[in-house]
Each structure stands twice: as C-alpha cells, then as structure tokens.
Structure 1
Amino acid sequence: MTAVTDCGRRGLRAWPAVEPATTHLYLHDNRLTVVPGAVGALTRLRVLDLAGNQLQGLPFEIGRCGALEYLYLHANRITELRPEIGDLSRLVYLNVNLNPLSRWGDALCGLTVLAELRAESTGLEALPETLAGLVQLRELHLRSNLLTDLPEQTARLRNLRFVNLRDNRLSAVPPSLAGLPRLRELDLRQNAIDSAPEFLAALPCLDKLDLRWNRIAQDDPVVESLRARGVLVHC
C-alpha cells in the first residue's frame, strides 16, 4: 500500500511529523538544514525527495531506509556523501546535482541495482573508483563538472545506455567508453575535443552522438563513418 506525505514548498525549517508507514515523502523546496536521525525509522520509505533545501549532509541513519528506491538530493549544500548511502541496496535512482561535492568516499559501494546517477554541476574533478560497482547503471549524467577523463573502471559499466559529459574539460573522448557495448547516446558538447577516435565507430548500439562546440571538423572520417551507418551525429 502506498502512503504519501507531501510537504513540498511549504517553507518548512524543521522536519515534520511523519508516519512510520510512509512510502513516499516529499520535502522538496523548503528551508531544511538538517535531516534528523529519526529518518531511519522510515523502513518502508521508497521515495525520498529532499531537493531544493539547505542541507549540508545526511545522518548515518539514512542507511536504515532499506526499502528506498529513489533519492532526490539535488540543489542543496552537501559536500560529502555518507558511506551509509551504500547500504541502500534497492536504490535505483540517485540525484545529487547542484551540490558542492568534494568527497564521495564509499557512498556508491553496495548500490548494485542503481540504474540512473545524476551528478551534474557538483565540481567533480575525477570520478571515484567505486563507480565500477554500479553494474546495473544505465544512465550517467555528469554535465558541467571539471572532468578531464573517466577512470578505466568505467568500461565495467556494460549496461550503460546514456552518458552525458557535456561542459567538462575533456581534450579527448575517454578511452574507457570503448568498453560499453550497449551505449546508445553520448553527449560530449562543450569540451575541447579535436578528433573522434575510431572506437566510436565500433560501438554497436550507438544511435546518437553530440560533438557540438568542440574542435572536430565536419569531415572527420569517424564522424562520416558513423553518419554513413545511420547514427545521428551533431558536430
């Protein structure tokens, strides 16, 4: 049974009373600065929306919300993801966009069914090696960060369908993307890439490639090869 508590956009400064049986809790766009340890008592919670508050972190008790599937944390002031997030073994969606994240630690460990990770505009300079454990990941959103490459472990994410690396500091297409047989859409806009590597033409499922606002010539041979086989390429 679904039990929804919707307290979004109410100007709340303190955590409201929440029934233990709640499955969907919406507290987005308030003025919350702290999540109390009492959140750990919400063991039936499947959706937790804390976006658009003033949170600097989460309590360790968040790891007790074992039924959680969707966690919205975007547009807060979070600088570090607690390792207890890795205890959320049913989590399929995690959004940490627009947080000044400087440390990930072991937060991704244990998220073996995570399908979509959004970490845009977080100031990321490098991805944690623990990313390799997200074996069910299908979408990876990393727009507007400070990335210059992706770790070799990215090649282990063989279920990835969509990767967004727009507006980073890439000077070349990351070689680890060559190991993604199910990749369908790749967004590389607004980087400093000057050529398309041959491995892009070997990606069997690639359907759309966006290379706009780089330094790649329209007559790049790899681009022409992809277009010839029917891939939608913006360049």
Structure 2
Amino acid sequence: MSFSSWPELADVIEHKRFEIALKHVKDGSRDPSFDDESLQKSFFSQCPQLNLLSVTSCSVSRISTEIQLCTNLTSIAFSHNKLTDLPDVFGSLKKLKFLDVSHNELTALPASLKTLTKLESLIVNNNKLTIQGIPELSALGQLHVFDVSHNNLAALPPTLDSTKISSIDAANNCLTELPDEFEKLAGVLRELRLNDNKMQELPTVVGKMHRLKVLDLSNNEFRDTRFQRLTNDKRSKVPAVLNYVEKNGRKKNNEKTETTAVEPEKVDPAESAVLVRTNDEQLVVTRHKSVSEVRPYLVCCVLNNVDLSDGDNFKKFIQVQTKLHASLCENRTTAAVGTHRMGSFQLPVTFMALPRQDLYIRALNKKTSVSGNELMESLLRDAELARKRSKRSTIDPLYRYLHIVRDDPVLACLVDAQQVVISLPPITNSDPTKLTVDTTSIWVEVSSAQSLEICKKVMDELVVESLKIFPGLAIDQVRVVDGANHISIYPDKNDLPGVALNRVKSSGNENV
C-alpha cells in the first residue's frame, strides 16, 4: 500500500512514532481518502505501537476494524467527522483512557465499550444517540468525564455509577427525569450540566450532592415555577439550588417526608470565603498581537498559601494537572496548563509568538537553553534513541505533545520582564521556574487556541481541586490585556461558581 498522498502516515510507519494527529483534511483533497479500507488496514497493521490516534475534521465516515491491532492506544479522537457507527472491537484496546467521537452522526455506541475498564474520559456529545444506543457502563470504574450533551437521550444510563466520575454533561437532550440511582454519584460528582432538557422535577438525592461546584439546570420545564426561576437565574449559587432540591424535590418511596430541623452552624461568611486580592498592577499580562492568530486565549492567576513541603500535597497537585490535561484539555489539544514558582521570574509577563529559530528556552528538566528548532529536533532525536534502546513506548514526556505544534513556524510563549521565556505551551514550562518543595505561591496559566471558555473551565477545576489540597488557599487576580482592552480577568465575578469569594483590593507589591 502506497502512502504517497499521506506523508503523515508514512512518517509514523517509517520512524515507528507513537502519535498521529491529522486535522482539517478536506474531503476529496487526497486519493485515497482516509475512509479507504486498504489504507486504514495497512496503516493500523504496521503501527501496533501507537499511543495516540487523533483524526479530527477530516470527513471520516468509517473506522476499520483493524484498529484493534493497535493495542497500545491510550487516546483516540475522531471528533468533527461523519461517523455513523463505530467498529465493535474495543475489547482489544484494554489500555484506552480517552475516547472522543463527538460531533459525528452516531446513533449507537458499540457494546465492547463496556470492557474499557481503564477509560477516564468518554466524549460523545453532538451525535444522534438514544438511550437504547448506549451500552452498560457499570464496568467503567475509572471514568472521570462523561459528555453526552447534544444528543437524543430520554434518560441517562442507569448503570453510570463510576466511583470516580467528576463531570457529567447531558445538556441539550430530551431528559424528563433523573433516576433515584443517581444517588450513587452524590459523593464524587463535581460538575453536572442538565440544561436545555424537558425535566419537570428532580429527586431529592440531587440536593445531597454537596461536592457539586458547577450545576446548570436552566431551560427545563420544572412544574415548580419558583424553582424554574431559580435555575434560570444566572446569579443563583449552587448551594442555594441544592438546598431547594433537597427540601422540595421528588422523594424516594422509602424516604420520610418530614425531617427534624437542625440548627445550622453559624459561620462568618468572610471567614469561610476564599480570599481574592484584586487590582495588583504587577499582575497584568500583555498579549502581543503576534500571538493573536496562533494561541490567542490565556487565563492566569496566582495561588498563595500553598504548602508543597508535604510530599503528598506536591503529588496531589501534580496529579490534578495531569488529570486535567487528560480530560478537559483533551491531551493538551484544546488547552494546556502551566505552573511556575513565584519569585523565579520577573513581572510583568508578556504573551507573544516568536519564530522557532528566535525562541530560546531552558525546557523542563533540561540543563541548557536551546532554540525552538533545536528543542523540537532534540526531542524527536531523543525519543527515537530511547525507542531503539528500550524497544518500548517509554519516551520523553515533552515529546508526547510535540505533534500539536510540530509544523507551526511560530510558537506561543510567555516571556518575563527580562525577556526570558518561561513557558512554551502546550509543550513545556521552563526548568528555572518549576515548582519546588519550598514553593508557597504559584503562578498558574491556562492557554488555548480554541476558546477563552475552555481556559476558564480548566482554571475553575484546577482551583477547586487545589482548595481541597490547600485549605487556606488565597488567590491573586491576574488581568490579561491587549492595549486598552481586557482579554481576560481571573477570577472574575462569574468565575468559580459555587465557591464563596471574599474580594479585597491588593496593597500592591506582594508578588514582585
């Protein structure tokens, strides 16, 4: 089989690479198309080492069953295509952790999905799925993210009971109610989006989901008009909605209708709220026009009162970033998180794009500064040498994301006041600014080429998870500006829904 029309595939085969990312290949622009059975069969049979397979916006209408030969796959993305079904061969892909087949024309998911016991993210939004087309999901014990929004579901899968699931998005469906079995998720669910459905009431178990930080119930058909107004009011806080549901929701058959009132513990709101300092003139990022066409979206903040001297805290904080990169960030293809030790770089910071040959950075865990070109080449070279030595898929972590920007002539970067590059998203941070055990304040950045919304969504989740690790956490607000225009302010008044914030004006130079 010739791959002359597909040099990307030929390169993966020749160099035994572990990732392939195709995007925006127009229908009819190559012969044969990616739909060709012989093409897919030949490619998959020669690439059993693949870890990541991403084919997005390429007008693909079928996936060959030969994909089952790629048993090392951990991430599969076929979003924004024309798929009407998926091959029922997922039983062979035991290592799969991430599956995104959103924005297709699927009416059902294959039964073999239920065997993916390591799956962490299942993204199937914007299809034509019905409840009859979703297999049993009870075995997916590692599932963190389930996005089934914009489909034709009349109900949620009753077997969705992962003990680790943190996010369910079932917006824009035909849901009329939630099952009482939803109670299984009360202790783990952090985000629940059920807006734009046809629900008339909710079970009281939803009111007991006190770990929820994001809850959207707007645009439903609740019979309780007061509750309808509450859910449609964007100013409503999550605790208020949960409290109303717990008191007025649909009760289970064995649930008492009357409860003994308990006097709540009185807490000073200012003491329980997270301190947010605003208006620090040093905490402003200038977005240069050069980055506007490359990676225009950026959200930043500073986390204070952090204690990383406890090794367990350090590990948990890194795990939060890792999980976000695998789930909401879709393996850094939609967004990327960067963290830096405050005091290790000079404020203020500029967000810009530089030609690869003009950009120099001392990448994470590297001893010397190199140009963007040299970094790309060395990562490719080191990964190939490591592969030949070990004959397995253990490669430099930086290399795993190289395919996202490998062909870009200019790269987005954050530069400090001394013109030192401290971040090269989505590839790496700089080694001199990395976190250490004595770090007490962390600069956090989330950047994206797609949208500001995903940046804020990722940052919200990171902050919420950080609050669990660092109970005394305080936040410094950071503004991103382009001339006189504000690009982003975080946290702003609409950020961190469900988290009480106590805003005070900064005295000025704490973080210089």
TM-score (normalised: structure 1): 0.83
From 17, 20, 25, the equivalent of 1:22 is 17
How far did residue 100 of structure 1 move? Answer: 1.1
How far did residue 15 of structure 1 move? Answer: 7.6
| CA–CA separation in structure 2 for the residues paired with 1:146 and 1:33 | 27
Query: What per-residue deviation string (whole Å, max 9, x for no partner) do you get for residues 25-82 of structure 1?
Result: 0112213333521213212211111111122221121011111111111111111111
For 1:210, the equivalent position in structure 2 comes to 216
| CA–CA separation in structure 2 for the residues paired with 1:203 and 1:45 | 39
Summarize the Cα distance change of 1:69–1:224 in structure 2 as closer, same or farther, 3 Å threshold: closer
For 1:223, the equivalent position in structure 2 comes to 241
How far did residue 97 of structure 1 move? Answer: 0.6
Is 1:232 aligned to residue 498 of structure 2?
Answer: yes
What are the equivalent positions in structure 2 for 1:1-235 lying under 5 Å apart? 16-20=9-13, 21-30=16-25, 31=27, 32-34=34-36, 36-38=40-42, 39-126=44-131, 127-154=133-160, 156-180=161-185, 181-216=187-222, 217=227, 218=229, 223=241, 225=243, 232=498
How far did residue 99 of structure 1 move? Answer: 1.3
2:208–2:242 Cα contact (<8 Å) kept? no
Query: What per-residue deviation string (whole Å, max 9, x for no partner) do you get for residues 73-123 of structure 1?
Result: 111111111121231111111011111112323230321111011101110
1:56–1:79 Cα contact (<8 Å) kept? yes
| CA–CA separation in structure 2 for the residues paired with 1:76 and 1:84 | 20
Give the partner amino acid of 1:183.
L
| CA–CA separation in structure 1 for the residues paired with 2:118 and 2:9 | 30
| CA–CA separation in structure 2 for the residues paired with 1:224 and 1:141 | 22
| CA–CA separation in structure 1 for the residues paired with 2:199 and 2:20 | 43
| CA–CA separation in structure 2 for the residues paired with 1:224 and 1:183 | 13
- Aligned to 1:193, the other structure's residue is in SS state coil
How far did residue 195 of structure 1 move? Answer: 2.5
Unpaired segments ≥5 residues, structure 2: 28-33, 232-238, 247-263, 265-272, 274-496, 500-512
How many residues are paired up?
221
| Amino-acid identity (%) | 23
How far did residue 167 of structure 1 move? Answer: 0.5
| CA–CA separation in structure 2 for the residues paired with 1:18 and 1:226 | 58
2:156–2:178 Cα contact (<8 Å) kept? no
Give the partner amino acid of 1:188.
L
1:82–1:104 Cα contact (<8 Å) kept? no
Worse overlay, 207-216 or 57-66: 207-216
- Aligned to 1:71, the other structure's residue is in SS state strand
Higher strand proportion = 2
Worse overlay, 90-99 or 218-227: 218-227
Give the partner amino acid of 1:33.
D
1:113–1:137 Cα contact (<8 Å) kept? yes
Query: What per-residue deviation string (whole Å, max 9, x for no partner) do you get for residues 138-165 of structure 1?
Result: 00001111111123211x3221100001
Unpaired segments ≥5 residues, structure 1: 1-11
Summarize the Cα distance change of 1:151–1:16 in structure 2 as closer, same or farther, 3 Å threshold: closer
Give the partner amino acid of 1:74.
S
- Aligned to 2:183, the other structure's residue is in SS state helix
- Aligned to 1:113, the other structure's residue is in SS state coil
Worse overlay, 65-74 or 218-227: 218-227
Give the partner amino acid of 1:114.
L
2:40–2:64 Cα contact (<8 Å) kept? yes
Summarize the Cα distance change of 1:225–1:65 in structure 2 as closer, same or farther, 3 Å threshold: same
| CA–CA separation in structure 1 for the residues paired with 2:126 and 2:179 | 19
Higher helix proportion = 2
| CA–CA separation in structure 2 for the residues paired with 1:105 and 1:19 | 28
1:196–1:222 Cα contact (<8 Å) kept? no
- Aligned to 2:182, the other structure's residue is in SS state helix
From the CA coordinates, give the structure whose radius of gyration is larger: 2
Structural RMSD (CA): 2.8
